[in-house]
A and B are shown apart, each in its own frame.
Chain A
Amino acid sequence: MQTASFRTSAKCLLALLALAGVVGGAMGLAGPPWAEAQAKPAELKIGIVSFLSGPATVFGVPSKNAAEWLIEKYNREGGIGGVKIRPVYADEAGGAEKQVAEFRRLVLDEKVDLVIGYISSADCLAVAPVAEELRKLTVLFDCGTNRIFEDSKYKYVFRTKAHQVLDSVAAAKYVLSVKPNVKTIAGINQDYAWGRDSWESFRRAMLKLKPDVQVVAELWPKLLAGEYSAEISRLLVAKPDVIHSSFWNGDIIGLVKQGAPRGLFSQSLVVLTAGEHMLQDVGKDMPEGVVIGARGDHWFLHNANDPLHKEFVDGYRARYGRYPIYPSYHMYQAVAGVKAAYEKAMKAAGGAWPSLDQAIKAFEGIEYRVPPGRTMTIRGDHNGIEPAIMGLTKHDPKYPFAILDRMMVFPAAEVNPPLGVKSNDWIDSWKK
Chain B
Amino acid sequence: MRGGKALPLVAAAVFGAAPLVLPGWVTFLLTLAVAKSVMVLAIALLLRGGLVSFGHGMFFAAGAYTVGMAMKWGGMREAVVLTFLGVLAAAAAAALLGLLIARYRGIFFAMLNMAISMVVYAVLLKLYWVTGGTDGIGIRTPTILGVMPERESLRLVMYYFTLVMTLPAFYAVHRFWTSPLGFALRAVRDNEVRVEYMGTSVARVIYAAYVLSGALGGLAGILTGFSVGHIVPDLAYWTTSGEFVFVAVLGGPASIPGPLVGSIAFEFLKSYAYKYAAFTWQMTLGVTMLAIILFMPGGLWTIYEGLARQGRQWRLSWKRTG
B-binding residues in A (CB < 8 A): 2-3, 5-6, 9-10, 12-14, 16-17, 19-21, 23-25, 27-29, 31-32, 52-53, 89-91, 94-98, 100-102, 104-105, 107-110, 121-122, 125-126, 129-130, 133, 145, 147, 191-194, 196, 223
Contact = CB atoms under 8 A, between A and B. Distances in A.
A126 B16 contact: no
Contacts of B275: 105, 109-110
B5 interface: yes
A29 B278 contact: no
9 contacts: A10-B167, A16-B12, A17-B16, A19-B16, A24-B153, A53-B282, A96-B230, A101-B271, A122-B232
Q: Max chain A CB contacts within 10 Å: which of B26, B159, B229, B267? A: B229
B133 A192 contact: yes
Nearest to B160: A21
Contacts of B4: 2, 5
Shortest Cβ-Cβ A-B pairs, 8 listed: A28-B153, A13-B12, A20-B16, A126-B230, A108-B25, A192-B134, A9-B8, A193-B135
Nearest to B282: A53
Given A98-B270, A126-B230, A193 B132 contact: yes
Contacts of A27: 20, 153, 156
B178 interface: yes
Contact of A91 (B29, B160, B281): B281
Contact of A104 (B25, B125, B134): B25
A193 B134 contact: yes
Given A91-B279, A104-B25, A192-B133, A14 B229 contact: no
Contacts of A196: 128, 133
B13 interface: yes
B319 interface: no
B278 A104 contact: no
A17 B125 CA distance: 39
Contact of B20 (A20, A94, A147): A20
Contacts of B281: 53, 91
The DSSP consensus for interface residues of chain B is helix
A121 B128 CA distance: 14
B232 A90 contact: no
B230 A53 contact: no
Given A52-B278, A133-B151, A16 B136 contact: no
Nearest to A29: B153
Nearest to B136: A122
A14 B167 CA distance: 9
Contacts of B128: 193, 196
A192 B133 CA distance: 6
B134 A122 contact: yes
Nearest to B230: A126
Interface in B14-29: 15-17, 19-20, 23-26, 28-29
B183 interface: no
Contact of B136 (A25, A98, A125): A125
Contacts of B224: 97
Given A21-B160, A129-B230, 19 more contacts: A5-B5, A9-B5, A9-B8, A13-B8, A16-B12, A17-B15, A24-B160, A25-B156, A52-B278, A52-B279, A53-B279, A91-B274, A91-B279, A91-B281, A97-B32, A102-B274, A105-B275, A109-B26, A193-B134
Contacts of A126: 136, 138, 228-230, 232
Contacts of B193: none
Contacts of B25: 101, 104-105, 107-109
Q: Max chain A CB contacts within 10 Å: which of B20, B152, B174? A: B152
Contact of A13 (B5, B167, B175): B167
Contact of B16 (A16, A95, A130): A16
A109 B224 CA distance: 21
Contacts of B19: 20, 24
A53 B184 CA distance: 46
Contact of A29 (B9, B126, B152, B228): B152
Nearest to A91: B278
A13 B152 contact: no
Given A96-B228, A108-B23, A122-B135, A191 B126 contact: yes
B240 to A, nearest CB: 9
Contacts of B154: 133
A299 B172 CA distance: 61
A129 B138 contact: yes
Given A13-B8, A24-B160, A109-B25, A191 B125 contact: yes
Given A16-B13, A191-B126, A145 B135 contact: yes
B164 interface: yes
B171 interface: yes
B125 A12 contact: no
Contacts of A95: 232, 234
Contacts of B152: 28-29, 31-32
B244 to A, nearest CB: 13
Interface string B120-136: 00000110100011111
B224 to A, nearest CB: 7
Contacts of B155: 28
Contacts of A109: 23, 25-26, 275
A121 B136 CA distance: 10
Interface in B287-316: none
Contacts of A97: 32, 224, 228, 230, 232
A10 B134 contact: no
A90 B274 contact: yes
A413 B129 CA distance: 29
A110 B4 CA distance: 39
B63 to A, nearest CB: 14
B229 to A, nearest CB: 5
A329 B201 CA distance: 66
Nearest to B281: A91
A96 B136 contact: yes
Nearest to B272: A105
A130 B274 contact: no
A15 to B, nearest CB: 9
Contact of B135 (A20, A53, A94, A125): A125
A13 B170 CA distance: 13
A53 B273 CA distance: 13
A371 to B, nearest CB: 27
Interface string B76-114: 000000000000000000000000000000000000000
Nearest to B17: A20
B136 A23 contact: no
A17 B9 CA distance: 11
